[in-house]
Structure 1
Amino acid sequence: MREPEFKVVDPRRRFLLWFVPPLAVFVAGLVVLLVSGHVTGPFRSVTVVRALFASKRDFFQDEQVKRILMARGYQVHVTPIGSRDLADKPDLDSYHFVFPSGHVANEHVKSRRAGKHVVPYRPFFTPVVLATFREYAEALKRAGAAKSHDQSEKPLYYTLDMSAFTTLATEGKKWSDYQLSNGNRIIVQSPDPCKAYSGATLVGFFATAFGDDPPQTVEAAEKLALDVKPFVDAQGQAGEDMAPKYFVPEGRTHAVIAVIYEHQYIAYQLRQKSVDTERVLLYPEKQHQSTPELISFTPEGDRIGELMMNDPELRQRAVELGFHSLGWNGETGTDFGGYISGRGLPEPPAGEKGRVQLPKAELFERMLDVVGECK
């Protein structure tokens, strides 16, 4: 028998055999990161910007928006709050910027910041709409309160006659009166008008049923508010954002007609594999476009506002999330219609009809106080 052989292995060679392959992979990955510019990401200084947001906070909570802003060196810390509460918040000055949803809150914030740094930016708009389901829109057609926006077999958009709708509500009509099995009254459900701008806009929609001219005095505002109040009270206790309840599979049981923003509907449809033809929108004949203002209080806030207005990636993402983009002079961007039609979704009739003429901010606030018993 042969004697056993003993081999002496150089430990340096054993180490190299173990270490070199992972090192090669690491170096290759490092080269790729250097070329792409991502390797410096963790070492780049990031400015944290604090802001108060109303309903448009979903834009800044979007993961792609977060990544774009982080690549520009900014992280926006979102504090959600209703538009009216935002405008009245005691520590308003401790934030870099605010982003309320509507004109009344915008003006209140600016008045509180009188004599201080305040720069407004208007990057996009979105109409306030009434979201419902096809069978209910068709029932409103039979009742003479709605009509299809186009002649397609399954239109997604309808025009709502608020005067005719108000008559249905006044007469206590039920859905079962128009060939549906639902025996509930015909009502609209909205967020609390004392807190949410979309809920406040519903007050404006109902007000158009009593005349086109907004009130010019406190007395006239209070009288109109008392006329509108029964239609808002009919929904019972108002909730918060209605969109999450509307878009769930059992949405019909939560809200047959819900006040939401158009961008929420468009974003929902763009996420679907195919268009959801059962969920549709009602556009009042007198529309209202929510044009939120990013109101900056600091240079950091200014920078976020400038990125919102100028950065191509942020502006494209806004369209992808259902917003109509605006330019520096308030002109409407042309990319919205082309983008959604390219995704198989018909362009909505935003801006095609007249607009709700809301009263002056202080008079509208008084109306909301009366309707919602806010104070």
Structure 2
Amino acid sequence: MAVDTVREEQAMRRLTDSLLEDYSETHSAAEIHAVLSAVRLRFEGHPVREFVPILVERIVHRELAPPAQGSVIEEAAAAVEQSSSRADRRRAARAGFALDRRTATLAGAAVLVAVVVVALVARQPDPAPAAAPVAPALTVVRGVVGSEKMAFFEDTRVVEALAKHGLKVTAEPAGSRQIATSVDLGNYDFAFPSSSPAAERIQRARNINTKYTPFSSPMAIATFQPIADLLTAARVLRPGPVPTFDVARYLELVNTNTEWAHLPGNTVYPVRKNILVSTTDPRTSNSAAMYAAIAGFVANDRAVVQGEPAEQAVLPTLQRLFAGQGYTENSTQGPFQEYLAAGMGPSPLVLIYEAQFVEAAVQGKTKPGMVLTYPSPTVLSRHTLVPLGGSGDRIGRLLSSDPELQRLAAEHGFRTADATQFAQVSAEHRVPVQAELIDVVDTPTYDTLERLLDAVAKSYN
């Protein structure tokens, strides 16, 4: 990437952060990203780049909080867009490089740009600059999504990629079971829960046949190296390049109410509480439902739970797994953020989506000693989009097929149809992941899973 391009991208990232802070009370993040993207597109293809961030900033400020009078910088931007003389462009470039070297103040930069524009206009036969082209209006598409996908939809690069297709997504988070059962979907153009059973429930309720599965993520368990060492000695964790979590052995400890302090030689976490994986609330969250599917499969002699006898047989184990935790949050974002911030004290084992750990590693939020492990068996959570109307179908098709959006999904930790994208991201950031998922089981039908979770919910009372 050229040095000038790097400077421009750095300046645009700083500008984005500043705008989000300045207008957070009056505009949503998606609105700010959309305006910024549309204004920047006005200058696409122009060879003089050095003061583009300054021009973009002034125009965006004007559109978000219009002053009484026109902006001299916006007039300067239009003049620069109309400049066709190669000599004029060289003058503008020299002025821009001087500005960059001096790191002038924003006000001084505006004056400098205005002077350059006066010189340019003076050489033109017609001194009146043409108005800058107006970016086409974006179609707003409303969606309700699992909270673990909010960072993806709020990513500036995702906002800009969608804007190229004339779309602006306004996403609102909710637990996946909430999306399927209690959210009023009449207010949205698409629903994007984190599993196919939840999507199936939505499709049946609204008589919709279409669905898209643009990416997926297996369930995983985040822990810490001292805990991993303890559980390896207890034969729960199987060591390897990527350690695996033996669910059958874990359930043995759970069913005998084994406490951390009971583990032989435990000097790093001698706590008098039961060994339990921390999850979300099974009454609202998809990740908890996936955990129930895993545990139910193992408790049912490694068979998918089906029929009332099997449901009744596994129910005591599931109730013990959830009710023993106490308070649980509605989405995986809560317990995972606590994992990142608070260390192993509150929650030494946390059920997460693999994508959350990979995304945190890409963003530099993980710390040495944090360990990603995979339940054996695990389930693959297929993030399934159900179009409800409007442009919801366009979003589903774009997320499933657009190369840029698929690449960005991989950078947020999701596995896409192109396995090489996820492999490249995990390799670049040295995240130890299972390249091929082998011990993966199916989930029960939606109706079976709902009956199990409803019975678990009653145990909370």
> How does the TM-score come out when normalised to structure 2?
0.67
Identify the residue that residue 294 of structure 1 maps to in structure 2: 385
Describe the shift of the 1:131–1:345 C-alpha distance in structure 2 as closer, same or farther (beyond 3 A): closer
Correspondent of 1:108 among 190, 194, 201: 201
Structure 1 residue 213 and structure 2 residue 308: aligned?
Answer: no
Structure 1 residue 141 and structure 2 residue 232: aligned?
Answer: yes
- Measure how far apart 1:53 and its partner are: 0.9
Identify the residue that residue 69 of structure 1 maps to in structure 2: 162
Deviations 1:17-73 (A, max 9, x none): xx9961524898xxxxxxxxxx65x63211111111113233212232122222332
Identify the residue that residue 360 of structure 1 maps to in structure 2: 445
- What is the alpha-carbon distance in structure 2 between the residues aligned to residue 230 and residue 95 of structure 1? 37
Letter in 1 for 2:288: G
Q: Report the more deviating stretch, 175-184 or 237-246.
A: 175-184
Describe the shift of the 1:20–1:284 C-alpha distance in structure 2 as closer, same or farther (beyond 3 A): closer
Q: Is the 8 A contact 2:361 2:429 kept in 1?
A: no
- What is the alpha-carbon distance in structure 1 between the residues aligned to residue 197 and residue 256 of structure 2? 32
Identify the residue that residue 343 of structure 1 maps to in structure 2: 429
After TM superposition, the runs of 4+ consecutive aligned structure 1 residues lying more than 4 A away are 25-28
Structure 1 residue 162 and structure 2 residue 247: aligned?
Answer: yes
- Measure how far apart 1:350 and its partner are: 5.4
**Identical residues among aligned pairs (%):** 28
Identify the residue that residue 304 of structure 1 maps to in structure 2: 395
- What is the alpha-carbon distance in structure 2 between the residues aligned to residue 293 and residue 164 of structure 1? 32
Identify the residue that residue 238 of structure 1 maps to in structure 2: 328
Deviations 1:303-352 (A, max 9, x none): 111211222221111111111112xxxxx532211232133333x11543
- Pick 1 or 2: higher relative contact order, CA cutoff 8 A, min separation 6: 1
- Measure how far apart 1:282 and its partner are: 2.1
Q: Report the more deviating stretch, 158-167 or 221-230.
A: 221-230
Structure 1 residue 87 and structure 2 residue 183: aligned?
Answer: no
Correspondent of 1:131 among 202, 222, 246: 222
- What is the alpha-carbon distance in structure 1 between the residues aligned to residue 435 and residue 203 of structure 2? 28
Structure 1 residue 225 and structure 2 residue 315: aligned?
Answer: yes
Q: Report the more deviating stretch, 227-236 or 128-137.
A: 227-236
Describe the shift of the 1:20–1:246 C-alpha distance in structure 2 as closer, same or farther (beyond 3 A): closer
Letter in 1 for 2:374: Y
Q: Please give the secondary structure, in 2, of the residue aligned with 1:253.
A: coil
- What is the alpha-carbon distance in structure 1 between the residues aligned to residue 119 and residue 176 of structure 2? 51
Gaps of 5+ in 1: 1-18, 29-38, 151-156, 327-331
- What is the alpha-carbon distance in structure 2 between the residues aligned to residue 25 and residue 343 of structure 1? 45
- What is the alpha-carbon distance in structure 1 between the residues aligned to residue 423 and residue 183 of structure 2? 41
Q: Is the 8 A contact 2:423 2:435 kept in 1?
A: no
Q: Is the 8 A contact 1:162 1:208 kept in 2?
A: no
Deviations 1:202-235 (A, max 9, x none): 2122223321112321343233223321122111
Q: Is the 8 A contact 1:222 1:366 kept in 2?
A: no
- What is the alpha-carbon distance in structure 1 between the residues aligned to residue 118 and residue 345 of structure 2? 55
Q: Is the 8 A contact 2:283 2:453 kept in 1?
A: yes
Q: Is the 8 A contact 2:180 2:198 kept in 1?
A: yes
Identify the residue that residue 277 of structure 1 maps to in structure 2: 368
Identify the residue that residue 50 of structure 1 maps to in structure 2: 142
Q: Is the 8 A contact 2:217 2:414 kept in 1?
A: yes
Structure 1 residue 370 and structure 2 residue 458: aligned?
Answer: no
Gaps of 5+ in 2: 1-110, 121-131
- Measure how far apart 1:82 and its partner are: 1.1
Letter in 2 for 1:194: R
Q: Is the 8 A contact 1:120 1:294 kept in 2?
A: yes
Identify the residue that residue 182 of structure 1 maps to in structure 2: 270
Aligned residues: 331
Deviations 1:173-200 (A, max 9, x none): 2333242233132111100011111111
Cα RMSD over matched residues? 2.5
Deviations 1:78-122 (A, max 9, x none): 1211111111236323311110111221110010121x5x52111
Q: Which residues of 2 match residues 26-37 of structure 1 at below 5 A?
A: none
Q: Is the 8 A contact 2:296 2:305 kept in 1?
A: no
Q: Please give the secondary structure, in 2, of the residue aligned with 1:254.
A: coil
